[in-house]
C-alpha cells in the first residue's frame, strides 16, 4: 500500500498537533481512509495515493498558516479543510498588520511615525530612523525584516549594534568574547522571540539565516539578499558607519536606528549617525524618519522622563560636563 513521509519543514510539531494532540486528532478525523502516524518532525501517511496527495496539500496549507500567523486553531483547520482559506478576524485589517507574532498576536505600526517607517522602507533601500528611547524604532524595523524573510523577499536577516560601553566596562564582564557581547545584543534577541517561535528561531540562528553580531564583525563583508538593521547607530563612529553603509549589496534593505540624545562614544569621537543625517539627506534612495516623544509606546512615564531630560538640556544642564569630568578624573 502506498505510503509517504511528510516533513513539517522546521515547524514546531506541538503547534500543529495541539495540546494533547487534539488538532492532530481533528486532522485524522478528516481523513478516515488514511493511517496517519506522527514521528517527531514528520508525518507518516499510509493509504490511497490520491488521498495521500490531498492530505499532503492540506498539510502544506496548515504549515503556511502557522508560519504566517504563528498559531493555528481547530477552527482554522476546519476552514482550511473546507475552503483552503483560513478564517479572518473582521476587526483585523490585514493591510495594517506587519506580521503576526507569537500566539498570533498582530504586530502593527502603533504610531504615525512607525507607520511612516513601514511606508518609507517599501520605497527606499536605506532608511534612518531617528528618535528617543521607547518609540518602537528597532521593534518595527525587526518586524519588517521578519516579514521580508517570511515573504522570501530576502534570504537572511542581519542585526548589528556597536559594542560601546555605556557606563559599564566591557573588559571586566565575565566570560569569553561572545558572552561579553551578548548583553549588548539582548534587545535584538528579545524582539525576535516576540515574532518567531523558539524552535524556528534557534534553527535560523544555527544556520545563520538570522545573524546577530557586533558592528565590527561587518567589516569586509558584502551583504546581499539581506535585510540589515544597525541598532543604536548613534554609537557608531564616522568610519564605522561609513564602513557599515558600504556593505550594501544587491537586493539589500538597510535600516539604521538611533537616538542622537544618547551618544555613548568615548572621548572626542564624533557620532557617525549625526554626520550621516547631514550628508545623506539629499541622496536619492535614502529616507530619514524622525520619531518624537509622541511616538513613545512604553510606560507613560517614559515620555515624561524624556521630556524632562530634554528641558534640562535646553536649559543648559551640566550633566554631560560632570560625566566628562568624572571620566577624566578616573583616567588620572
In angstroms, rounded to a whole number, what is the distance separating the alpha carbons of residues 51 and 34? 7
Average pLDDT over residues 177-187: 69
- Tell whether the model's pLDDT for residue 13 goes beyond 50: yes
68: exposed, middle or buried (C-beta count within 10 Å: 0-12, 13-18, 19+)? Answer: middle
What's the whole-number mean pLDDT along residues 268-282?
A: 91
- Whether residue 114 has pLDDT greater than 90: yes
- The b-or-e profile of 240-249 (16+ CB within 10 A means b, else e) is bbebbbebbe
More confidently predicted of 262 and 224: 224
Confidence check: pLDDT of 325 > 80: no
What is the Cα–Cα distance from 297 to 110, expressed in whole angstroms?
8
SS (H, E, C) 253-321: EEEEEECCCCCCCCCCCCEHHHHHHHHHCCCCCEEEEECCHHHCCCCHHHHHHHHHHHHHHHCCCCHHH
Using left for φ > 0, alpha for ψ between -120 and 50, and beta otherwise, residue 233 falls in alpha
Q: Which residues contact 248 (CB under 8 A, 6 or more apart)?
A: 125, 126, 223, 228, 254
- The percentage of the chain sitting over the pLDDT mark of 70, rounded to a whole number, equals 84
Judged against a pLDDT cut of 60, whether residue 166 lies above it is answered with no
Per-residue pLDDT tens over the stretch 56-75: 999 988 888 888 887 888 88
* The domain defined by 3-83 carries CATH number 1.10.1050.10: no
Run of H or E including 50: helix 49-69
Is residue 232 over pLDDT 60?
yes
162-191: average pLDDT: 65
Closest by CA position to 65, among listed 78, 75, 80: 80
Closest by CA to 133, choosing from 224, 45, 257, is: 257
Give the whole-angstrom CA distance, residue 223 versus residue 204. Answer: 17
Whole-angstrom CA distances from 268 to 32, 264, 265, 271, 318 are 73, 11, 8, 10, 18
* pTM score, whole prediction: 0.73
Given a cut of 50, whether residue 327 has pLDDT beyond it is no
Cell digits of residue 198: 523558539
Domain boundaries along the sequence of the chain: 3-83, 95-298, 299-332
- Per-residue pLDDT of 239-259, as tens digits, reads 999 999 999 999 999 999 999
Per-residue pLDDT, 167: 42
* Cα–Cα–Cα angle for 16, 20, 25, rounded to 5 degrees: 65
Distance (Å, whole) CA 246 – CA 206: 26
C-alpha grid cell, residue 21: 494532540
Higher pLDDT, 5 or 268: 5
pLDDT at 242: 95
Pairing assessment for the beta strands 3-7 and 42-46 based on DSSP bridges: antiparallel
Q: With 90 as the cut, is the pLDDT of residue 120 above it?
A: yes
What class is the 95-298 domain? alpha beta
Amino acid at each position: 500500500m502506498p505510503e509517504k513521509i511528510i516533513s513539517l519543514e522546521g515547524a514546531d510539531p506541538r503547534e500543529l498537533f495541539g495540546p494533547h494532540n487534539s488538532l492532530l486528532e481533528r486532522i485524522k478525523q478528516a481523513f478516515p481512509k488514511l493511517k496517519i502516524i506522527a514521528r517527531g518532525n514528520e508525518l507518516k501517511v499510509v493509504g490511497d495515493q490520491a488521498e495521500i496527495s490531498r492530505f499532503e496539500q492540506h498539510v502544506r496549507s496548515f504549515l503556511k498558516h502557522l508560519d504566517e500567523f504563528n498559531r493555528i486553531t481547530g477552527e482554522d483547520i476546519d476552514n482550511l479543510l473546507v475552503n483552503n482559506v483560513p478564517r479572518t478576524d473582521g476587526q483585523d485589517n490585514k493591510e495594517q498588520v506587519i506580521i503576526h507574532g507569537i500566539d498570533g498576536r498582530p504586530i502593527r505600526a502603533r504610531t504615525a511615525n512607525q507607520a511612516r517607517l513601514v511606508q518609507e522602507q517599501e520605497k527606499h533601500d536605506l532608511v534612518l530612523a531617528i528618535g528617543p528611547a521607547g518609540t518602537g524604532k528597532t521593534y518595527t524595523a525587526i518586524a519588517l525584516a521578519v516579514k521580508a524573510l517570511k515573504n522570501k523577499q530576502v534570504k537572511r536577516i542581519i542585526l548589528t549594534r556597536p559594542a560601546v560601553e555605556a557606563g559599564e566596562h566591557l573588559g571586566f564582564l565575565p566570560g569569553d568574547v561572545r558572552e561579553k557581547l551578548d548583553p549588548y545584543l539582548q534587545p535584538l534577541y528579545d524582539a525576535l522571540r516576540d515574532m518567531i517561535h523558539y524552535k524556528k528561531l534557534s534553527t535560523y540562528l544555527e544556520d545563520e539565516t538570522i545573524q546577530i553580531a557586533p558592528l565590527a564583525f561587518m567589516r569586509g563583508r558584502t551583504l546581499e539578499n539581506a535585510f540589515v538593521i544597525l541598532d543604536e547607530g548613534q554609537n557608531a563612529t564616522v568610519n564605522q558607519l561609513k564602513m557599515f553603509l558600504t556593505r550594501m549589496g544587491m537586493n539589500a534593505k538597510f535600516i539604521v536606528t538611533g537616538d542622537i540624545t544618547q551618544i555613548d562614544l568615548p572621548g572626542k569621537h564624533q557620532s557617525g549617525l549625526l554626520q550621516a543625517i547631514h550628508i545623506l539627506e539629499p541622496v536619492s534612495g535614502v529616507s530619514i524618519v524622525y520619531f518624537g516623544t509622541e511616538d513613545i509606546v512604553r510606560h507613560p512615564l517614559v515620555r515624561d522622563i524624556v521630556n524632562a531630560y530634554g528641558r534640562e538640556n535646553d536649559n543648559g544642564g551640566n550633566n554631560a560636563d560632570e560625566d566628562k569630568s568624572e571620566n577624566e578624573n578616573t583616567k588620572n
